[in-house]
Amino acid sequence: MIAQTTTSRLLSPLVLVAALGDLAVFAIFVVAGRAEHGIIQEAAFWRTALPFAAVWFALSPWLGAFRISTLKSAKASAWRIPLIWLACGVIAILLRAWLTDRTFQLAFALVAIGLQAVMLLSWRVALSLISRRIFGNR
């Protein structure tokens, strides 16, 4: 019974929409960066998006980013998502530097973590407001 409940919550439409939206945030960040800096290489997409997405999806569920209470509450999202992203973003920046064998760049780290924090927070607050209208308090 517990396994079935956990599985159905993990696969709820709201969690799936949140995950797809989060993935879109990382993709938009990289595409915008490529356009801003004139980078054409396809590898740049994976070199940047993959560490952020991998760390986010590995750690954020454990830290509460995909809890129904977070997904449905703008207030909970407003404080949880930035804190969770800060931890994930720092780890992702370090992972990216290590995987790509590049030096740590503070300017990139601040812009990447800050901009993606704003994007994730905006997306998640909008999702919480919309989900309450669609799903109610279920």
Q: pLDDT tens across 72-108, in order?
A: 999 999 999 999 999 999 999 999 999 888 788 899 8
- pTM as predicted: 0.81
Structure tokens given for 47: 């070199």
Q: Report d(CA 101, CA 2) in Å as an integer.
A: 44
Res 138 pLDDT > 60: no
Assess contact for 92 and 60: CB atoms under 8 A: no
Select from 73, 34, 46, 55 the least CA-distant residue to 113.
55
Q: Report d(CA 65, CA 56) in Å as an integer.
A: 9
Assess contact for 83 and 120: CB atoms under 8 A: no
